[in-house]
Amino acid sequence: MNYYLVGINHKTAPVDVREKLAISERALPDALHRLVQHRGVDEGLILSTCNRVEFLVYDANGACDLDAFLCQYFHAQPSQLKPYLYRYRGAEAIRHLFRVAAGLDSMVIGESQILGQVKQAYAAARLAGAIHTRLDRLLNRTFMVAKRIRTETSIGASSVSIASTAVELAGKIFGSLIGKQILIVGSGEMAESAARHLLTHGAGSIMVCNRTFETAVRLAATFGGQAISFDRLYECCDLADIVISSTGSPSTIFRREHGELFIRRRKNRPMFFFDIAVPRDVDPELGKLDGIFLYDIDDLQQTVTAHLAERGEEAVRAEGIIEKEVERLRSSLQAFDVTPVIISLRDHFEVIRQNEIERLRKKLGKLTPDQEFALKSLTRGIVNKIMHGHVSTLKSAASSNDAAAVVNLVSRLFNLQNERAA
């Protein structure tokens, strides 16, 4: 099980570090191509969200150095990344992926959006040709486990999401959300979800601003709102009480000078900025202005924590399911690992059997059908008896931690690696 995962998330790295390692949707195909070209990597997947950036690979020979890849790709020194990285191999990598997809490793325990993000990462990796047999088996099992947890536990009940947290914070700032104006800058599922929650709690009309005006028009239509071209962003922004920003901009689009302008125009009426972009859309300096309340992804942690206790028991049940599924997959994968060797071993003895029959035919001359049948039955029986002990050993090894060593030993004893390569 040569799976290897390296990553950072909201628990190990602050947002200013995560945004430096974030990989945009546009850059993802090139990043995947470079990942699978890296020494030792046979298959790869990259998951990049606002709360985590993770690199999962299958490394057949255990020679992959993902730390080196990260340093090369992000032009960073090892000392800059090492304090924030976590690393998992084998069953630990599988367990971590299952927990991520099930929402157990999320800022909001049990949130469902992460499963969709893992599926998108899987689709992107397949499209890029970075996923083959090993990661395909792992990811499909991951989706099954996540579905099972959703079905058999209430981990996703009593909705606690980034969107609902934004509504709670906005409600504390304004007292009432009735009639408050909303501006969505950019697009994305989380931004739309936050806007829907705000509307449900009484917020007024919605404006949508996007660099692609057609996208703004389409999204605004879903809310019965107004589309704004990106070149009018700063002109119209102060009309909003609540700004939800979720662009893919590599640099901030709202800075302190913009905040000062907005506050003057609003005559000191407060504004709420909800920055859910990574890299961040809003300069932290803007949040220091009187009358402007700024929350980024990390700021939500304190609010979210208050809602987690009620999900504790369900999370324990989910962890139990994951442990069983990790063991099931481990056994399945190890059996999968020994199957090619069993087939090769059988082929090896079959070649010997056929060669010996041909040699005997030359000595014995023409055989009657009964003699031919007896000869084949005898030699097959001998091969099966010889195979039985080896197959039993390999199948037993498949359920232990010695599988790789036994497979390697049998392959070397019978020269199976060279025969398969021939």
Burial 336-363 (b: 16+ CB within 10 A, else e): ebbeebbebbeebbeeebeeeeeeeeee
306 falls in which pLDDT band (50, 70, 90)? low
**How is the beta sheet containing 271-275 ordered, strand by strand?**
226-229, 206-210, 182-186, 242-246, 271-275, 292-296
Region 143-157: what's the mean pLDDT? Answer: 87
What sign does the CA torsion over 316, 57, 86, 115 have? negative
Q: Which of 58-67, 180-189, 223-232, 308-317 has the lowest mean pLDDT?
A: 308-317
Burial 243-268 (b: 16+ CB within 10 A, else e): bbbbbbeeebbbebebbeebbeebee
Q: Can you read off the two tokens belonging to residue 328?
A: 């099931």
Catalytic residue among 50, 64, 209, 237: 50
| DSSP-based three-state secondary structure for 242 | strand
What is the model's pLDDT at position 417? 62
Longest alpha-carbon distance in the chain: 110
Of 3.30.413.10, 3.20.10.10, 3.40.50.300, 3.30.460.30, the CATH number of 3-157 is 3.30.460.30
Cα–Cα dist 251/331, whole Å: 47
CATH 3.30.460.30-classified regions of the chain:
3-157
Q: How many CB atoms lie within 10 A of CB 236?
A: 14
| 346-384 pLDDT, tens digit each | 888 888 888 888 888 888 888 888 888 888 888 888 988
The H or E element spanning position 350 is: helix 312-364
136: nearest Cα among 115, 122, 119: 122
CATH 3.40.50.720-classified regions of the chain:
176-305
Q: Which fold has domain 176-305?
A: Rossmann fold (3.40.50)
Phi, psi of 81 (to 5 degrees): -100, -35
Region 46-54: what's the mean pLDDT? Answer: 93
pLDDT tops 70 at residue 303: no
Residue 50 annotated as catalytic: yes
Using alpha carbons, list the distances in angstroms from residue 225 to 103, 195, 218, 244: 32, 11, 10, 15
